[in-house]
Amino acid sequence: MKKLLPLVLVALLVQGCASTGSVKKAGYVGLSVAGQALFLIQNTEMGLVCDRPGAPPAPACVSEALHTTEISPRLAKAFAIGERASGTLRALPPTISGATPEVIAFVKQIWDLVGELMTLLPQSDPAKKLAAKVDALAAKK
């Protein structure tokens, strides 16, 4: 599914542009949904780090090393892309038409990182619930 996400995203974003008539709005909706997926991942993952209050016991918890060296840097990178995408979209004139490859590329990069982050999380009930929510968001792209 994770390999298909970017392709579905691009198709829906282009379709959204055509159907709503507003490239900027379609980009904003796509970026908002991708951002929501990232926010959910960060909220959930912070509570899964081993030895933190409410974290599940090993092996279901996220080790400190995984949290520090793999997950947090990817989240930071994804949020930085989100910042750039927001700025790029904001700078677009309201009347712009046609595809915006730069914004589509930014949103695709965010979903790629969402896919990577989900595969890094150890199996646990909260991780399963998170995966269901992220899948539901992916379907809204």
Partner 1 sequence: MQILQILFALAPKIIQVAQQGKEAWEAYIEAQKVEGDAEINDGLDALKSEFTRRRIIAEHEAGLS
The binding site for partner 1 (CB under 8 A) comprises: 22, 24-25, 28-29, 31-33, 35-36, 38-40, 42, 46, 67-69, 72-73, 75-76, 79-80, 82-83, 86-87, 89-90, 94, 129, 132-133, 136-137, 139-140
Nearer to partner 1, 7 or 140 (CB): 140
Q: Minimum distance between the CB of residue 88 and partner 1, rounded to whole angstroms?
A: 9
Q: Minimum distance between the CB of residue 57 and partner 1, rounded to whole angstroms?
A: 21
Q: Minimum distance between the CB of residue 47 and partner 1, rounded to whole angstroms?
A: 12
Nearer to partner 1, 6 or 74 (CB): 74
Q: Residue 49 — φ and ψ, nearest 5°?
A: -70, 130
Nearer to partner 1, 94 or 101 (CB): 94
Q: Minimum distance between the CB of residue 122 and partner 1, rounded to whole angstroms?
A: 17
Q: Minimum distance between the CB of residue 51 and partner 1, rounded to whole angstroms?
A: 14
Residues 6 or more apart whose Cβ sits within 8 Å of residue 42: 75
DSSP secondary structure, the chain, as one string = -TTHHHHHHHHHHHHHHHHHS-HHHHHHHHHHHHHHHHHHHHHHHHTTBTTSTTPPPTTSSBPHHIIIIIIHHHHHHHHHHHHHHHHHHHHS-TT--S--HHHHHHHHHHHHHHHHHHHHSPS-HHHHHHHHHHHHHHTT-
